[in-house]
Amino acid sequence: MSVIAPKFKLSEFIKSLLDNAFWAVLILSLIGIPAVFIVLFFIEMPVINGEILTPFLALTWIADPSRTLPIVKAFMATDIFRVMVFPGFGFAALLAAGTIFIERKMLAKLQLRVGPFYCGKFEGILQLMGDGLKLISKEIIIPAKADKPIFWAAPVLFVAAAAAFVALIPVAPGWVVADVDLGLLGVFAVIGFFPIITILSAWSANSKFPFIGGIRALFQMVSFEIPLILSLLGVVMLTGSLNLSEIAASQSSFPWIVFLPIGAIVFFITMLAELERIPFDLPEAESEIVAGWLTELSGMMYGLVQLGTYLKLYAFAALFVVLFLGGWNGPMVVPPFPAEILTEGIVMGPITAHIPGLPLFTQEMLNGTLWFVLKTVAVIFFILLPRGVFPRIRVDMLLNLGWTKLIGLAFVNIFIALGLLYAGVLGPGGLQ
């Protein structure tokens, strides 16, 4: 039996466009603009022409662009900006999205495939957007015998734990969401939540394959967290601090990987296991247990777990950069801003007022962010590479590696750090 395709009607097409425009304007009017005003009330408003700008007049920058930059600078000084935009969730999610796309294209090239191709004019650049819309629109199927509250909560908790991990990573001097004195201990505390969330998600599905994957994930994460923590003690000994910003600043002359290469290697291997990346992807193991603890997740619940996974990947790569590769330190490649702009400001046209305080970012911040991103992207590349090179190892080999070889190498790294410290070669002040 033949099926007749519906005919295209211009009137219906125009009607759909008008409907979408109507709902967009309605949502903007009822939700968007009030939300902007609420945010403006929590921002310390700038002084313009000797008067403090009020939230009620803040949107007048549409007619007077001279007020745009002061308002933007005031917003950038808030905790909301740091958490949601930079260097927090938005910045990490952007790098995570790029990582997903690059991973798929890189693996395709390694395996002589095409990879994403059709979504977007250039190399399927819009494939990620298409996948996101697909996950949002797909139905979420909950197993009939699942523990529904825990099953629903697990993906949200996974993303929340990954976001908390990201909040502890310093990107540039002074640019970190949570700059706490015991930042490295905070990292260990956050990492400890992932096995709990994984096993809860697997158990709540009340299904065979997720439970097997959850047990594997628990064994794997517990066996590799001990050498992961031990591999970082050498850095703590030589810097004399648990603050991640201070650890990054202590590497202004040389990165710690020069003196502690064994610790860096152990941390990198344990990082792959914590991320469940090949050759340590036993908790998912598609060829053995479908998708492991992710088997019963569907729709946006699966999308949230994937988002959390790549946020966690970025956070681990960034942590490696901060601890072993010097963090934001690097040669100054960003040119300085003109002195007259820094001191006198700039005039933006005949109808605008004088705007002091440019630029929005300092030279040190831009240069530090540039080096941090370049180093993090390089580490992410080496994290992705084993997926196209190595096979999956057996679970007994994995446990033997974690409990024996890596712990032994971690103690060797500690002894090297102690030797450098007590020999007077290195210390909290750097080279002695």
Please report, in tens digits, the pLDDT of each residue of the chain (432 residues total).
Answer: 555 556 657 777 788 788 888 888 888 888 877 777 777 777 666 666 666 666 666 666 655 656 666 677 777 777 778 888 888 888 888 888 888 888 888 888 888 887 777 777 777 778 777 777 777 777 777 887 778 888 888 888 888 999 999 999 999 888 888 888 888 898 998 988 888 888 888 888 888 888 888 878 888 888 888 899 999 998 988 888 889 989 998 888 888 898 899 999 999 999 988 888 878 877 777 777 777 777 877 788 888 888 888 999 999 999 999 999 988 888 888 777 665 555 555 555 544 444 455 556 777 888 888 999 999 999 999 998 888 787 777 777 888 888 888 888 999 999 988 888 887 777 655 555
Q: Rounded to an integer, what distance in angstroms lies between the CA atom of residue 27 and that of residue 348? A: 33
Q: Is residue 379 assigned to a domain?
A: yes
Q: Is residue 254 assigned to a domain?
A: yes
The DSSP letter of residue 283 is T
| Contact between 226 and 195 (Cβ < 8 Å) | no
Q: Is residue 404 assigned to a domain?
A: yes
Residue 431 pairs with which residues in a beta bridge? 426
Q: Is residue 104 assigned to a domain?
A: no
Q: Is residue 290 assigned to a domain?
A: yes
Query: Tokens 């949601």 sit at which residue?
Result: 84
Q: Rounded to an integer, what distance in angstroms lies between the CA atom of residue 374 and that of residue 372? A: 6
Position 321, amino acid: V
Q: Is residue 410 assigned to a domain?
A: yes
Q: Please state at what angle helix 261-274 crosses helix 363-384, rounded to 10 degrees.
A: 70
Whether the upstream peptide bond of residue 70 has omega within 30° of 0, thus cis, is: no
Q: Is residue 3 assigned to a domain?
A: no
**How many domains does the structure of the chain reveal?**
1
Closest C-alpha to 229, from 259, 272, 185: 185
Could you tell me how many helices (H) and strands (E) the chain has, helices first? 19, 6
Residues 6 or more apart in contact with residue 150 via CB below 8 angstroms: 200, 201, 203, 204
Closest C-alpha to 196, from 221, 171, 179: 221
Residues 6 or more apart in contact with residue 336 via CB below 8 angstroms: 363
User: What is the domain range of residue 328?
Assistant: 143-332+363-431
Q: Is residue 260 assigned to a domain?
A: yes
Whether the upstream peptide bond of residue 87 has omega within 30° of 0, thus cis, is: yes
| Contact between 216 and 282 (Cβ < 8 Å) | yes
